Amino acid sequence: MSQTLNIRRAAGALGAELSGVDLSRTLPDATVAAIRQALVEHQVIFFRDQTLTPAQQVAFGARFGPLNIHPYVAGMAGQPEVMEIIKEPADRINFGGGWHSDMSFLETPAIGSILYALEIPEFGGDTLFASQAAAYDALSDGLKATLETLSAVHSASKEYSSTGASAKKRTSMSVAEADGYVGEYVHPMVLVHPETGRKALYVNPAFTLRIDGWKPRESKALLDYLFEHCRHEGFTCRFAWARGSVAFWDNRSVWHFALNDYAGHRRHMRRVTVDPWPHAVRAEVAA
């Protein structure tokens, strides 16, 4: 049985709330295709009033691509692709605080993340999203042309080394330190979305170390300018969570920032992350 999908835009630059669909069910291919179209068009999509077991969240995510196993954060026992993101009342640092794009530190970055809310604080805990396609569009033609010739070096070392925010001690999550074995990977500073053809900036403060072929000091001025530009409020939307809410964002064109403004309260989310299809499978799915 098909489900009627209703779409309401959340903000001017990106974001839409989808209703009329139960993500716990085995969805028809047409519904999955409609959700995927909404994702690539709106860059981040939201669902309310969902009830998902870990297995159901895995099944939903797997309709969009193979699921990622995070190299530094332990997944659930028996389901390593499911990451539980928990901040206990005594924790000072949250996971995902600060603007970033998930998994850009990998050789093949993830295409999207699906976050499900199980427990929400009495106040705060919203997530901000920023369209890097809108950020690219707002640049001058001259800077666009320059950036399209450049690549940047990404690494987990800034975030997951022993001095990084995500590796700092917490009571709620098992996060490995990346010292000694983390790699560096080069990605274009402007990505062309494979499904829409729209261009987006692809650098972020958490994982971008420097411009490829440039010294860190030479890179700093341009990267700092881009980091400031990319989070302009006109490129953003804000999502207020409730129990049962789901957000699904496109990492190829979106930054996000989990706000840490609920000291003394607990927040419990569950995430699966979608990798790109292998080329042979992608061609088969497209057909």
Q: What pLDDT score was predicted for residue 169?
A: 53
Cα→Cα distances 225→62, 72, 203, 212, Å = 37, 29, 11, 17
The separation between CA 125 and the C-alpha centre of its own chain, rounded to angstroms, equals 16
Q: What is the pLDDT of residues 242-270, one digit of tens each?
A: 999 999 999 999 999 999 999 999 999 99
Q: Hey, what are 197's tokens?
A: 């053809």
For residue 286, pLDDT over 50 is answered with no
Select the more confidently predicted residue: 281 or 185: 185
Residue 47: band (very low, low, confident or very high) from pLDDT cuts 50, 70, 90: very high
Q: Do the beta carbons of residue 104 and residue 208 sit within 8 Å?
A: yes
Q: What pLDDT score was predicted for residue 277?
A: 84
Catalytic positions, written as ranges: 100, 102, 256, 271
For residue 283, pLDDT over 70 is answered with no
Q: Hey, what are 70's tokens?
A: 């995070």
Select the more confidently predicted residue: 180 or 156: 156
Q: Do the beta carbons of residue 153 and residue 214 sit within 8 Å?
A: no
Q: What pLDDT score was predicted for residue 130?
A: 98
Q: What is the pLDDT of residues 30-45, one digit of tens each?
A: 999 999 999 999 999 9
Rounded to an integer, what distance in angstroms lies between the CA atom of residue 101 and that of residue 112? 9
Q: Do the beta carbons of residue 193 and residue 253 sit within 8 Å?
A: yes
Q: What is the 3-state secondary structure (H, E, C) of the chain?
A: CCCCCEEEECCCCCCEEEECCCCCCCCCHHHHHHHHHHHHHHCEEEECCCCCCHHHHHHHHCCCCCECCCCCECCECCECCCEEEEECCCCCCCCCCCCECCCCCCCCCCCEEEEEEEECCCCCCCEEEEEHHHHHHCCCHHHHHHHCCCEEEEECHHHHCCCCCCCCCCCCCCECCCCCCCCEEEEECEEECCCCCCEEECCCCCCEEEECCCCHHHHHHHHHHHHHHHCCHHHEEEECCCCCCEEEEECCCEEEEECCCCCCCCEEEEEEEECCCCHHHHHHHHC
For residue 5, pLDDT over 60 is answered with yes
Q: What pLDDT score was predicted for residue 282?
A: 45
Residue 103: band (very low, low, confident or very high) from pLDDT cuts 50, 70, 90: very high
CATH of the domain spanning 6-286: 3.60.130.10
Domain ranges of the chain: 6-286
Please enumerate in sequence order all residues whose Cβ is within 8 A of that of 182, keeping only pairs 6 or more positions apart, or say none. Answer: 105, 155, 156, 157, 160, 161
Cα→Cα distances 260→82, 91, 133, Å = 22, 10, 26
Count CB atoms within 10 A of the CB of residue 204.
26
- Whole-prediction pTM value? 0.91
* Among the ranges given (30-39, 135-144, 177-186, 273-282), the one the predictor scored with the smallest mean pLDDT: 177-186
